[in-house]
Amino acid sequence: MQIHVVQPGNTLSAIAATYNTTTTALIDANELDAPNNLVVGQALVVPIAGRFHFVQPGESLYSIAQAYNTTYQELAQVNNIPVNQTLQVGFRLYIPEQAQPPITSNAYIEPFGDTVSQTLENAAAKNTPYLTYLALFSYNVNRDGTLEAPPLGNLLQTAEQNNTALMMVVTNLEEGQFSQDLGHIIVTVQAVQNTLLDSIINTATANGFTDVHFDLEFLPPEDREAYNNFLRTAKQRLAEAGLLMSTALAPKTSAEQQGAWYEAHDYAAHGEIADFVVLMTYEWGYSYGPPLAVSPLPQVREVVEYALTEMPADKILLGQNLYGYDWTLPFVEGGDPAEAISPQQAITRAREQNVAIQYDPTSQAPFYFYTDDAGNRHEVWFEDARSIQAKFDLIKELNLLGISYWKLGLAFPQNWLLLEDNFTIRKLE
């Protein structure tokens, strides 16, 4: 798989010719709705076996081979050139396919109301082949320890058809918000815990869940050890029932990090108790905050590197957003929230506004500005093939267990093609 960034004057036919592919293949891979009107700065995935490398100034066959984890002899043989050939800038080298390391992949799905929308049903059907787990968000805990289930629709059957394990997400959500009071009850009241764990095991067993995932957020800081003890109790009960247990962790960079979302999440304890964890490494740029990349690479790396001091790499799923935001400027604290948009919507909006997409090399994320018909200035940050590849490279570099997406339902076709190209997706027996 190749990533091509559209340059001024590029046409789809010229891009296809560059990579020995077809315009139809490019349209299908990127789900292009306006193939004759590409956006400058738009990242396309090119569905080819292996990839092409265009020689840059100062590069040699040896340095290129090192970058792609191969040998200069193999590159010379594959490209039918002498091993000592001086490479001209712009010369096209073919890079053979590399071995794909195994990865565990998860995606949350969040159905609302009484039924599962057709959009979410379609997203599950389309994307569960790329997933180890499909995480049903969420089973909400009542104050007596009983559970309120989300609508399930055909999601369980879709997961089974694609050999995708089911994750049962248990939260302390009340009226759409994480409740500190409810969280305190869950982790401190023994009778509630007994009822809750009985309810979880009965529900998980009846519906074929493999993993129970605790996403308890906004807990009182003084409940840190109570939460740890609850997880120890839950782990024992769930293991006896043949169930795995995982947790979601706020993105911390130290054990002493202060703040209502962080202090009760003990990385070392979760790493010891849980079978695996999800690091929620997103929402630096969020709907009520100033314009920023949603998951900037330096900040994501800092969280992961801290986590690795508290737990092994093979217990960590890197959290990854499947969306971006459109902020109306100037940003005002407490003002209207930014609009959540899919990567596909972000590209369409750039085309409609006739603006080029830029890319920030520090955060490793695409962005652009535009002015709407009412004269309001906007700033948009989202994800594209380049930003997601940067996260895949981080997973490989640090040998993490895998990735966890929040959340299905917003179109990002390049992600799934690159996921399959970079990794072999684990499927549980």
- SS3 (DSSP) at 246: strand
Q: Write down the mean pLDDT value for the chain.
A: 96
pLDDT at 146 over 80: yes
pLDDT for the residue numbered 98:
83
Q: Tally the residues of the chain.
A: 429
pLDDT for the residue numbered 106:
98
Q: Which uninterrupted H or E stretch holds 204?
A: helix 190-207
Phi, psi of 174 (to 5 degrees): -135, 125
The answer to whether 26 and 15 have CB atoms below 8 angstroms apart is yes
Mean pLDDT of 378-384: 98
The answer to whether 60 and 87 have CB atoms below 8 angstroms apart is yes
pLDDT for the residue numbered 68:
87
Q: For residue 101, name the pLDDT band (cuts at 50, 70, 90).
A: very high
- pTM (two decimals): 0.95
Please give the CATH topology (third level) of the domain spanning 2-95. Membrane-bound Lytic Murein Transglycosylase D; Chain A (3.10.350)
Within 13 A of 104's CA, how many CA atoms are on the CB side?
A: 22
Q: Rounded to the nearest 5 degrees, what angle is found at the Cα of 116, between the Cα atoms of 183 and 172?
A: 0
pLDDT in tens, 187-222: 999 999 999 999 999 999 999 999 999 999 999 999
The answer to whether the bond into 138 is cis (omega within 30° of 0) is yes
Q: Which uninterrupted H or E stretch holds 418?
A: helix 413-422
pLDDT in tens, 10-69: 999 999 999 999 999 999 999 999 999 999 999 999 999 888 999 999 999 999 999 888
pLDDT at 126 over 80: yes
pLDDT at 8 over 90: yes
pLDDT for the residue numbered 199:
98
- SS3 (DSSP) at 220: coil
The answer to whether 377 and 326 have CB atoms below 8 angstroms apart is no
The domain 102-425: what is its CATH number? 3.20.20.80
Catalytic residues: 217
Q: Where are the domains of the chain?
A: 2-95, 102-425
Rounded-to-integer distance, Cα 123 and Cα 155, Å:
10
pLDDT at 429 over 80: no
C-alpha distance from residue 89 to each of 58, 72, 188, 261, 421 (Å): 8, 17, 65, 50, 27
